Amino acid sequence: MHLLPDTLDAGSAYPLGATFDGLGVNFAVYSANAEKIELCVYDETGRRELKRYPLPEWTDEVWHGYLPDAQPGLVYGYRAHGRYAPEEGHRFNPNKLLLDPYAKQMIGELRWTDAMYGYQVKSPRVDLSFDKRDSALTMPKGVVTDSHFDWSRDVRPNTPWSETVIYEAHTKGLTKLFEEVQPSERGTFAALGNPKVIDHLKRLGVTAIELLPIHTYIQDRFLQEKGLRNYWGYNTLNFFTPERSFFATNSHDELRRSIRRLHAAGIEVILDVVYNHTCEGSEQGPTLSWRGLDNASYYRLVKDDPRYSINDTGTGNTLNLTKARVIQMVADSLRYWATSFGIDGFRFDLGLTLGRTDTGFDPGAGFFDVLRQDPVLGRLKLITEPWDIGPGGYQLGNFLPVSPSGTTNTATPCANSGAAIMRSAPTSPRA
């Protein structure tokens, strides 16, 4: 690694994340309430911190700085300084290393210790206490990437809704016992593009494969303590990074190549995505990323007692899609998957949650408007699961658009999930 400078240049508030421009890396992270954010740079193993920089600028609630001569492969994390006042919704603790919400690649495994929590786990004051232990050794770190891939010869199938047959599949489960795939690739992204797997899908008459969550996710502490594992993946740690356990190689191009091969066979790829909550759980959960960067902005909190998280998802927390920067994070994630990985559509887990406001569900919520007007996302297949466990949490048929007669055209339920397809044309049932 080159000699690191003593300070960062000002850089830019856009784009968010760690962006390599050929001459260095721009770092930008959203926090409306932090008093200072530090960039921590690590060696290539992620074990030794090399330098710690305060981000020098704060523009429109985005902290940013530029590291000249930095290259893809740089390992980094953040520390956020501010008030630790859980009764007011603030949980800043600079002793906790935080994963960049926009990290495109990660290194290291999350290892559960009590240091992963912003408070003292065994304290009688519970989350009102403050933990001073450093969590860096047990936290995964972000890695700067240069994710160029040549999609110029790729042709998206763009199958009409009326001819679409969707096959819902788990990336590992689909091919783990598939004998015609070589053992080293079974259960991985590489297997999705195997000719024998594609032939199997074609024989079934499938026009699209819908992958259960492939965003990187964590294994819950209580499961690991019981010797169990999270198979399904609805426990997201990062919205931009593919789950590493699904790779046969060390390259994200493995997934991109399989998607190109599926497209060449006329098969679209849809992702089941979980933007309604994160793996940080309730107010008694760990501090890994969003909670430490700005708990009061990223999450919906009880209005009269913001110490507590609103739990409309049944997982302990609910992302706050009434905040413009949180909407931006979700839209940027969707756009990244659509452009960098060639994804053809998305199925929104507990999609009703994405339209929640302080007064309940709003079919005209800002996030839905963003989706419909976006020149990239508005052209994709968009499917929503129309319920959550919050008040008025069943809204099948109540998603826009609405026909001139005043009835919605989104009430076609899909098998297994009770999902509603966000479109105005009729659809075939899912396989």
Residue with tokens 């074609």: 202
385 belongs to the catalytic site:
yes
**Vertex 297 angle, CA 295 and 300, to 5°:** 80
Task: Name the DSSP letter for residue 348.
Answer: E
Closest Cα to residue 98, out of 115, 76, 82, 120? 76
Q: Is the link from the previous residue into 401 a cis peptide, with omega within 30 of 0?
A: yes
Distances (CA, A) of 343 to 208, 235, 255, 308, 335: 11, 21, 11, 36, 9
Task: Quote the CA–CA distance of 252 and 245 in Å, as a whole number.
Answer: 12
Which residues are CB-contacts of 409 (< 8 A; sequence separation ≥ 6)?
A: 401, 402, 403, 423, 424, 425
Please answer whether residues 360 and 391 qualify as being in contact, where contact means their C-beta atoms are separated by less than 8 angstroms. Answer: yes
Q: Considering 210, 280, 385, 388, which one is annotated as catalytic?
A: 385
Task: Quote the CA–CA distance of 29 and 55 in Å, as a whole number.
Answer: 9
Q: Considering 127, 243, 283, 349, which one is annotated as catalytic?
A: 349
Task: Quote the CA–CA distance of 351 and 275 in Å, as a whole number.
Answer: 8
Q: DSSP of 38-57, one letter per residue?
A: EEEEE-TTSSSEEEEEE--E
Q: 362: burial class by Cβ within 10 Å (0-12, 13-18, 19+)? A: middle
349 belongs to the catalytic site:
yes
Residue with tokens 């993946």: 233
Give catalytic residues, as residue numbers: 349, 385
